[in-house]
Structure 1
């Protein structure tokens, strides 16, 4: 006996056939809510109203006002998300295959119908539809994520191109002008030195810009000094750039991660600080890194405006989605604890292999 209540629409003009189906349903289902339509017009009216969330539709193919393929098309067109099980008195194998290709969940012959076959068909069709819907939703999320990822990559390429064009382009244009002036110059030594000093300043600025772009692409400090030094460098730069007071505490410097974990943890931190600077309105940020019960715990907390917890999933930006994907990739857990007006806590938990990740 199925405990879940099933909402079922039976589209059947023959009263005797309907009563038999009704008897079969009440025999096998503990709770069933039956709706009966005697022709396609009544059925379409009921389905279009959407007043009942039907779990399955039982469809007779020989109705007074519509029959066969045309009837299947009509019903499925208004309820594509509801499984349709055809009940017919005609044993036509080819037509049955055609019906299934149109989106019908099952094709049952009335002469062979029993309470058990009807029960199994309804339960299987309902569960199959749930699985299909979940897969479709997952595929849609994957497509959206791929689009967002592509958009983010294009935005990053555009940002780097602008930095190179606006900063380095101007600096090298200035160098070119200075070299041209130096070539034409017949003046004093002091005038030449002044131009050369200006050129040296432009070169230094260009070197700084190049290093900054390179660090944003892949921080050198991460490879040379490790994750914790890189996070300290990130926090220091964030504090200077945004005038937001930052505090960082690392309780166990002996913890090490592999290279893949390090770069993903660092990128999660980068994204967290980007979100704080763009959206939080915070004046203070705290960073805590500690080992707890065989796990590395990274906590980034701010005193900004926070996010309504009921809307955290709805509010997931590309940045937050990317953070979650990176956490999943390295087997970590990412939690966002936030309420409006009290700031946000981002907690990243990474399982540690003590033999591998803890230096002796």
Structure 2
């Protein structure tokens, strides 16, 4: 009888200890999952904050770039076209001067014609900077060819361009961003990098168009925050973001620049 009672007590104790173990385990699991979930939520919130911060930076870069472009256009209109038209206006009034000789009249007329031609050329240049006609009419490939030709004709840099990709006709909005990225890269290579050679290759890779860009310029320190957050770099990154693409930039002082971006 006593043996049975002891046996029953042992079974009850085992059941109690086992139940207690599982209760503690369950509580431990609940606490673990609670804090794990809390940590995951915290990381997700941090990720969202970073994404929002990045989007704000990109938006700020786009707005800043637009404002800089507007200032440049306004400056060009004021300093170049307006000044020429003012002189044309003055010369036109001079034609009303009585007793002008034939030679004086011819000189004034010649000045009006020359200044008007220069004002028209400046207007075409500004319009080209806003939207290159060849890009709009004939597509990205023709636009890049013209861009490379313009830089090569400066005699300061030789641009080697090859294209193995097909640019979709319906992606004109995207192509303008690609064109502006290349324009920014080439301007940086020439002005800051003092490059004498630029190579440019487009090819297709797993459903994406990939651009390989390289110059032999002075290069720069990619770890320097000043180089990472300049207006030109912000402009490039904001356009790549609009394209939903990716970009990798490799450079070192004295070793030129290599850029790979895909979209």
Instruction: Identify the match of residue 245 of structure 1 among 153, 157, 169.
Output: 157
Decide which of 232, 254, 260 is 1:341's aligned counterpart: 254
Relative to structure 1, the CA distance from residue 277 to residue 196 in structure 2 (aligned partners, 3 Å threshold; closer, same or farther) is same
When the two structures are superposed, what TM-score results if normalisation uses the length of structure 2?
0.78
Deviations 1:240-275 (A, max 9, x none): 45x5222323255x8332323322221221121232
Q: 1:256 and 1:132, CA in 2 relative to 1: closer, same or farther beyond 3 A?
A: closer
Specify whether residues 313 and 135 from structure 1 end up closer, same or farther in structure 2 by C-alpha distance, changes over 3 A only. Answer: farther
Q: Which residue of 2 aligns with 1:255?
A: 166
Query: Higher relative contact order by CA 8 Å / sep ≥ 6: 1 or 2?
Result: 2
Instruction: State whether structure 2 residue 112 is matched by structure 1 residue 206.
Output: no
**What is the rounded CA distance, in whole Å, between the counterparts of 2:220 and 2:245 in structure 1?**
22
Residue 319, structure 1, aligned to residue 263, structure 2: no
TM-score of the superposition, structure 1-length normalised?
0.59
> Could you say which residue in structure 2 is the equivalent of 1:302?
215
- Aligned counterpart in structure 2 of residue 180 of structure 1, from 93, 99, 118: 93
Distance 2:96 2:116 in 1: 18
CA distance in 2, matches of 1:348, 1:117: 46
Which secondary structure does the structure 2 equivalent of 1:248 belong to?
strand
Gaps of 5+ in 1: 1-26, 29-112, 351-360
**Deviation (angstroms), 1:212:** 0.4
Residue by residue over 1:117-151, the C-alpha shift from the partner in whole angstroms, topping out at 9 and shown as x without a partner, is: 43233222222222212212222222222222222
Structure 1 counterpart SS, 2:255 = coil
C-alpha RMSD of matched pairs (Å): 2.8
Contact kept in structure 1, 2:221 and 2:227, CA below 8 Å: no
In the alignment, the residues of structure 1 paired with residue 256 and residue 179 of structure 2 have an alpha-carbon distance, to the nearest angstrom, of 22
1:257-299 CA-to-partner distances (Å, cap 9, x unmatched) read 2323322221221121232234323232222344567654432
Q: 1:235 aligns with which of 135, 148, 170?
A: 148
3-state secondary structure, aligned to 1:280 = coil
Q: Which residue of 1 aligns with 2:21?
A: none
In 2, Cα distance between the equivalents of 1:167 and 1:332? 38
Between Structure 1 and Structure 2, the one with more strand by share is 1
Separation in 2 of the partners of 1:144 and 1:331? 16
Shift of 1:222: 0.9
Higher-helix-fraction structure: 2
1:217 counterpart (130, 141, 151):
130
**Matches of 1:335 and 1:151, distance apart in 2:** 23
Matched, 1:195 2:108: yes
